[in-house]
């Protein structure tokens, strides 16, 4: 199940981000885990707007990161940061 830390705002999310959240939820569900979104940020970069969805708590970070990379495709970067995963929309 997809969960959000208190205070996370979901207003005005673009369809690409909603699709990303749905995909992440599916990947975690297949492994029997909840997907907890700890924070979301929007940053302006030279290449365009980058949406960072940070962090899913899980036990096998590398395994989930590999599955997310495959499921999300080339339009997203999946980065392992200690015990959580950061997903960036390019």
Sign (positive/negative) of CA torsion 73, 79, 67, 44?
Answer: negative
Chain segment 43-67, per-residue pLDDT in tens: 665 554 444 454 455 557 788 889 9
- Residues 4-12 have a mean pLDDT of 79
Going by the DSSP 8-state scheme, the letter that residue 83 receives in this structure is T
pTM across the whole model: 0.75
- The parent domain of residue 9 ranges over 2-89
At 42 the pLDDT is 64
C-beta of residue 36 within 8 angstroms of C-beta of residue 3: yes
Chain segment 24-39, per-residue pLDDT in tens: 889 888 888 778 887 7
Provide the domain count of the chain: 1
What CATH number corresponds to the domain at position 51?
3.30.980
Collect all residues with Cβ–Cβ distance below 8 Å to 20 and sequence separation of at least 6: 51, 53, 72, 76, 87, 89
pLDDT tops 90 at residue 71: yes
Collect all residues with Cβ–Cβ distance below 8 Å to 53 and sequence separation of at least 6: 17, 20, 21, 24, 37, 40, 86, 87, 88, 89
């Amino acid at each position: 199940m997809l969960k959000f830390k208190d205070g996370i705002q979901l207003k005005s999310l673009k369809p690409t981000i909603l699709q990303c959240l749905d995909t992440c939820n599916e990947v975690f569900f297949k492994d029997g885990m909840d997907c907890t979104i700890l924070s979301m940020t929007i940053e302006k970069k030279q290449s365009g707007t980058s949406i960072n969805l940070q962090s899913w708590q899980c036990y096998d970070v590398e395994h989930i990161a590999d599955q997310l990379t495959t499921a999300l495709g080339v339009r997203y970067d999946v980065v392992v940061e200690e015990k959580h995963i950061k997903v960036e929309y390019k």
